Amino acid sequence: MIALGCDHGGYALMQEVKAHLEKRGLEYKDFGTYSEESCDYPVFGKKAAQAVASGECEKGVLICGTGIGISITANKIKGIRAALCGDCFSAQATRQHNDANMLALGARITGPGLALMILDTFLDTPFSGEERHARRIAQIEEP
Ligand code: RB5
């Protein structure tokens, strides 16, 4: 199950993400927002991130205008590693090295074609499992 969260700036791109996930036969839970009416990205970023942190969803996709505000929000929640990606190399590396569990996209920066390629890369790349990366991920949670 993939958790989805966006604000008004990310709403249109999120509709493309949903259609793409449906085409791939992947289940998602949409935590809103549900229209292009102006809203506050932390509200929806938190809901989606909490679903991933609790284990209700394995991964998540977050979208706002830049991807910045919503990724900052998600990364405040313990256990969330949200990566803002504007290219496929970053999406691949953040799965392999950081075991990122949420992908953030900036809808005003990244066009839909590239965004969906980034999404596929993120979803299809496994964590490397290498000791040095696991060690560094554990250090993130240390005080
Ligand atoms: C909304 O105008 C915009 O600030 C938001 O989508 C996002 O870019 C914030 O980081």
Mean pLDDT of the chain: 98
- Residue 26, Cβ neighbours under 10 Å: how many? 13
Catalytic residue among 64, 85, 88, 133: 64
pLDDT digits (tens, 9 = 90+) for 6-37: 999 999 999 999 999 999 999 999 999 999 99
What local confidence, expressed as pLDDT, does residue 105 receive?
A: 99
Interval 127-137 mean pLDDT = 98
Residue type, 91: A
* Binding site membership of 9 for ligand 1 (Cβ less than 6 Å): yes
Structure confidence at residue 84 (pLDDT): 99
Check if 68 has its Cβ closer than 6 Å to any atom of ligand 1: yes
Q: Return the pLDDT at 26.
A: 98
Nearest CA to ligand 1 atom 4: 65
- What is 2-141's CATH number? 3.40.1400.10
Cα–Cα distance for residue pair 117/113, rounded to 1 Å: 7
Count of residues in the chain: 143
5 lines ligand 1 (CB under 6 A): no
Helices (H) and strands (E) in the chain, counts: 6, 5
The predicted model scores a pTM of 0.97
Q: What is the pLDDT of residues 29-84, one digit of tens each?
A: 999 999 999 999 999 999 999 999 999 999 999 999 999 999 999 999 999 999 99
The predicted pLDDT at position 89 comes to 98
